[in-house]
Amino acid sequence: MQIDGTIVAPDEPASWDPNYARLWLHFSKLNGIIFQGNGVIDGSGSKWWVTIDSSTGVKVKGITVQNSQQMNFVITRCNSVRISDVIISSPGDSPNTDGIHITESTNVVLQDSKIGTGDDCVSIVNGSSNIKMKRIYCGPGHGISIGSLGKDNSTGIVTKVVLDTALLRETTNGLRIKTWQTAAVEISQIMYRNISGTSKSPKAMKFSCSDTVPCSNIVLTNVNLEGKDGTVETYCNSAQGFGYGIVHPSIDCLTSHDKDYTFTPDIIEVSEATSQEIVHAEL
């Protein structure tokens, strides 16, 4: 599907099929589909979603999605998806405008893309695994997030997520894992490596975990976060892990320092970074 012009949504979904009120562009049950071009999909500020659903072998390249009032671009129940060279743009003060929302999907690669929204640049939720992101620019927005998970005490499973080479600027958060219920979701085997930046919050790192199901096996190495207005600190609650190399601010509040633990995250092969400002980050 070649998109080279501008597709503009109607102002309101009222005239649309009431059974699919938010599905303006909905692609479902496809196998081996390519969306490409230099075109623009303009949500016109209305409550429209662009959704790819229950599909396999999907490629999206070069397209701009802008001005959605809700989630800009949704990948749901898909396998083998590659998104590259896309631009997602919504105002920084627009609520719930997740850039790319991934749910119940596996083997998704997102690369070389620029995302600015009023919510998470990328959100990855239940039933998703093997999600790889590289060379991502995020801002404005709420950062890059796994979750929220565990709403209404439900089971939420997300595994094998890697973010490699990203620049987050003017975001309200950096990298987040979000859960609803303190006893519903167990978080483990998380690595933060080669991350540097400036925090507006005095709590530059926050590991606020469940007393019932503590976070475990959190590893940090070569992390350096400075404060924009003064010193910064790390907050911990029921979090187990350790750091090595340079880690600032201190993570002495983590309850375990077992450096014999071995955890090797998935690694993405990437080309040489072209900017001194690009930050390498892995979860």
- 280 flagged as catalytic: no
Which pLDDT tens digit goes with each residue over 100-140?
999 999 999 999 999 999 899 999 999 999 999 999 999 99
Annotated catalytic residue, options 26, 142, 248, 257: 142
Q: Are 65 and 90 in contact (CB under 8 A)?
A: no
Q: Are 64 and 39 in contact (CB under 8 A)?
A: yes
Which pLDDT tens digit goes with each residue over 167-207?
999 999 999 999 888 666 789 999 999 999 999 899 999 99
**Interacting residues of 63 by C-beta distance below 8 A, sequence separation 6+:** 3, 35, 36, 37, 38, 39, 40, 41, 86, 87
pTM value is 0.88
Question: Which of 53, 54, 52 is closest to 35 using CA atoms?
Answer: 52
